[in-house]
Amino acid sequence: MRRTPAVAGHFYSNSPSLLHREVEEFVEGKQQKVDAIGLLSPHAGFVYSGRVAGALYSRITMPDSFVIMGPNHTGMGAEVSIMSSGTWDMPNGPVDIDATLAATILQNCDMMEEDRTAHLREHSIEVQLPFIQYFCSAPYFVPIVLMTGRYDTLHAVGEALASAIKNSGKKVTIVASSDMSHYVPAEVAKKKDGLALEHLLRLDPEGLYRTVRERGISMCGFGPAVAMLVAAKALGATTAEQVMYMTSGDVNHDYSSVVGYAGVVVR
C-alpha cells in the first residue's frame, strides 16, 4: 500500500524544493551528534514547532530505522494500530516501512493490530518524516498510532518494542510524537509542561503517566512518550536531555492561549 500525505500543503509545503528550504531553515549545523535510543518530538505545523523539531533531529546520528509512535487525533482505527508494510509518499520522495522490524513488533504485542485506517489521515507521524529525510536519503520506519490511555497497555507496547529492537540487530531510534499543553496561558503551559518534562528527563514513565493524569496536562502524545520511555529503559537508556522548549506564543506573540513544544533526546 502507498499512503499519500495527509497534511502536505497545510502543516508543511507540498513543493519538494520549498519543503527542503523550509526544513533547512530550522535545522542547526555544526552540532555534536549523539546516538539516540528515543526522542520526544512535536508535531504541529512547521511554522510553530519546526524550530524545535529541527534542533532535535540536528543533534542525532541517523539510525538504521525509526519507530515513530503518535497519538490518534482522528478516532479512526484500533486502540493500538501498526502499519507493517508499504510506502509513505512524501513531497521529497517515498519512505518505506521496515517490514521485518514491524512484523516482529506486531508478533510481540498481543494488543497491537494491523490497521491502516488509523494512519490514513493522522498527521503526528507524517510530520516527522521531512526532518528525517533531510538527514537521511533512504530512511526506514515503523508507524504506530496509539489511542489508548491505559498504562498497562502502554507498558506492554514499550516492552514489545524493546524486545523486537534487541533481536533485530539494528540501530533503531524510537520517536514519541507529542505536543505539550494545549490552549492555556503561556505561564500555565510552562509550569505544567515542566512537571511532565521533569519525569521525562528522569526516565520515569510511571511518573509521567501519573503526573499528566493527576495534573490535567493536555499533552496529546503522553501515551507514545510513556511507551518510548519504557522501551528506552529496557534498551539501556541512562540519560535524557531537553534540547528545546517553546510555545506557539513565541511565534505569533499571543501568550493568552498557547500550545507547548518540547524536544528531548534519550540516550
User: What CATH number is given to the structural domain containing 177?
Assistant: 3.40.830.10
Q: What is the pTM of this model?
A: 0.98
pLDDT at 203: 98
pLDDT at 30: 83
Burial class (CB in 10 A: 0-12, 13-18, 19+), 59: buried
What share of the chain in percent tops pLDDT 70? Answer: 100
Residues 6+ apart with CB under 8 A from 198: none
Q: Give the CA-trace dihedral at 209, 181, 260, 17, to 10 degrees.
A: 90
pLDDT at 44: 98
Nearest CA to 157 out of 142, 137, 136, 179 is that of: 142
Cell numbers representing residue 84 in the block: 507493517
pLDDT at 150: 95
pLDDT at 126: 98
pLDDT at 127: 98
Please state, in angstroms and as integers, the Cα–Cα distance from residue 6 to each residue in 14, 35, 112, 124, 163, following that order.
Answer: 11, 30, 23, 10, 31
Query: What is the identity of the amino acid at 90?
Result: M
Which residue in the block uniquely carries the three cell numbers 522501551? Answer: 231
Cell numbers representing residue 28 in the block: 542547526
Residues 6+ apart with CB under 8 A from 253: none
Which residues of the chain carry a pLDDT beneath 70? none
What total number of domains does the chain contain? 1
Query: Which residue range is the domain that position 120 belongs to?
Result: 2-266
Backbone angles phi, psi at 49, to 5 degrees: -110, 0
pLDDT at 120: 96
Residues 6+ apart with CB under 8 A from 265: 34, 36, 38, 39, 56, 59, 60, 240, 241, 243
